[in-house]
């Protein structure tokens, strides 16, 4: 049964001065809230290795943010901002970033009502020679609710990855209320970012430095990665009063065969770095169910975890994915998820979570509430009372899950 949850029950006062508008000078100089056995405490992020058990498996999201925000101009002078969400043609990210002349993306278009189906030219107020050489154009192919399909064309034969690097800007969150600056090019990206595709950073990972990562591994902790490309849903608030009426966007993810085998054989706690890693790992159970019942992996629907009872064990579900991959000569699982994790969700894989502090009335706050068995307000009140910094560039927390089933 889909839970009846009112989003206004997940509101809290967040003064603007508590939102971290810029990163600290050092990634690991942030505060760390430790929540264990229902009790929050205040530490330094540099101490996080002390809280990861030596037999744990720690999973990071190694997606990479792309400069997905493009500023165009009509011949009339009107400005149109285009925010690239996900590739349409070609559909695969690797192929998309390699094309050299034309491609189509699903986008959010600012001032879309002012776009009268004419061809747009990239806004280039400084007459940058590199931008002029590319001669990037945009045409509106179709509109579909809040999104549009846009076709991009350019002249100089550069791969689209280079087009974005030259012409685009990093899409920092709108609640920062400022333009992208040079500091964001480095700091709105994790040190271990590898695969291009996200339009928002998995911000829980922004705190990790090489020293912190080395200290964690030196304690015997096994580390691994998933890759979920973070979509624009990260920026979209829950507008409906009932969470059941909110729509989650599809996000593609990749998980290796070797990580699946580790999860089956695990003896220690699984620690997810970020809510994107949680959603990826917890989606695996339902992908496994599709392998068991349909013979192949299928995308995870938004409400799949809540619409029926599941009798399969976690090991059975993950084992079905492993068997499918091996029988088809594959080394990695590629699928998508729309999963929403809200109070009432049964966690099957993740035991500990490293995460930042999230916006009021957001799906991410619902996930936190589910993870700590409804005790989110205790955590957030403590953070507010102890001068923690909030949101993407804010401080960190490590949460030990309550009531494991």
pLDDT over 90 (residue 146) = no
pLDDT (tens digit per residue) in 367-403: 999 999 999 999 999 999 999 999 999 999 999 998 6
Q: Which fold has domain 7-65+187-400?
A: QueA-like (3.40.1780)
**Residues 297/291, Cβ–Cβ less than 8 Å:** yes
Count of CB atoms situated within 10 Å of the CB of 77: 6
At residue 404, the pLDDT reads 46
Q: Counting Cβ atoms within 10 Å, is residue 291 exposed (0-12), middle (13-18) or buried (19+)?
A: buried
pLDDT (tens digit per residue) in 299-321: 999 999 999 999 999 999 999 99
At residue 319, the pLDDT reads 98
Mean pLDDT lowest among 60-64, 232-236, 272-276, 340-344: 232-236
Mean pLDDT lowest among 18-22, 106-110, 317-321: 106-110
Mean pLDDT lowest among 122-131, 232-241, 252-261: 232-241
What is the rounded distance in angstroms from the CA atom of residue 289 to the CA atom of residue 292? 5
Structural domain boundaries of the chain?
Answer: 7-65+187-400, 69-168
Mean pLDDT of the chain: 94
Q: Which long-range contacts (CB under 8 A, 24 or more apart) does 15-19 make?
A: 18/384, 18/388, 18/389, 18/390, 19/175, 19/176, 19/389, 19/390, 19/391, 19/394
The DSSP code for 316 is H
**In terms of DSSP H, where are the helices of 10-152?**
93-98, 129-134
pLDDT (tens digit per residue) in 80-97: 999 998 899 999 899 999
If residue 164 lies in a helix (H) or strand (E), which one and from where to where? helix 160-167
Work out the percent of the chain whose per-residue pLDDT is above 70.
98
pLDDT over 50 (residue 405) = no
Strands 195-198 and 63-65: parallel
pLDDT over 90 (residue 32) = yes
What is the rounded distance in angstroms from the CA atom of residue 58 to the CA atom of residue 42? 22
pLDDT (tens digit per residue) in 149-162: 999 999 989 999 99
What mean pLDDT comes out for the span 356-374?
Answer: 96
The span from the first CA to the last CA of the chain, in angstroms, equals 18
Flag whether the pTM goes above 0.95: no
């Amino acid at each position: 049964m889909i839970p009846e949850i009112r989003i206004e029950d997940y509101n809290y006062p967040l003064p603007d001065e508590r939102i971290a508008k810029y990163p600290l000078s050092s990634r690991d100089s942030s505060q760390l809230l430790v929540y264990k056995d229902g009790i929050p405490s205040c530490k330094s992020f540099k101490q996080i290795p002390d809280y990861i058990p030596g037999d744990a498996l720690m999973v990071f999201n190694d997606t990479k943010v792309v400069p997905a925000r493009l500023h165009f101009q009509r011949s009339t002078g009107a400005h149109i901002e285009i925010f690239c969400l996900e590739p349409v043609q070609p559909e695969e990210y690797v192929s998309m970033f390699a094309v050299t002349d034309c491609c189509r993306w699903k986008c959010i278009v600012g001032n879309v009502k002012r776009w009268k189906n004419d061809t747009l030219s990239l806004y280039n107020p400084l007459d940058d020679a590199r931008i002029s050489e590319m001669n990037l154009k945009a045409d509106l192919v179709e509109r579909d609710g809040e999104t549009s399909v846009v076709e991009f064309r350019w002249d100089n034969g550069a791969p689209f990855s280079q087009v974005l690097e030259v012409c685009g800007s990093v899409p920092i969150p709108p609640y920062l209320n400022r333009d992208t600056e040079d500091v964001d090019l480095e700091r709105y990206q994790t040190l271990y970012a590898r695969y291009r595709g996200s339009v928002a950073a998995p911000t829980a990972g922004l705190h990790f430095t090489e020293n912190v990562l080395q200290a964690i591994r030196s304690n015997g902790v096994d580390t691994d990665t998933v890759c979920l490309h973070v979509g624009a849903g990260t920026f979209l608030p829950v507008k409906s009063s009932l969470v059941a009426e909110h729509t989650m966007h599809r996000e593609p993810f990749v998980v290796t065969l070797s990580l699946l085998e580790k999860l089956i054989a695990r003896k220690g706690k699984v620690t997810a770095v970020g809510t994107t890693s949680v959603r990826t790992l917890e989606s695996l159970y339902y992908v496994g169910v599709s392998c068991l019942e349909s013979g192949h992996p299928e995308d995870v629907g938004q409400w799949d975890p809540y619409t029926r009872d599941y009798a399969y064990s976690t090991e059975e579900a993950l084992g079905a994915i492993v068997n499918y991959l091996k029988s088809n000569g594959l080394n990695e699982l590629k699928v998508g998820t729309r999963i929403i994790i809200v109070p009432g969700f049964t966690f099957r894989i993740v035991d500990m979570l490293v995460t930042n502090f999230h916006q009021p009335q957001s799906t991410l706050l619902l996930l936190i509430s589910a993870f700590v068995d409804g005790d989110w307000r205790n955590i957030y009140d403590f953070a507010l009372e102890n001068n923690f910094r909030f949101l993407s560039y804010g401080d960190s927390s490590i949460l030990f899950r309550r009531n494991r089933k």
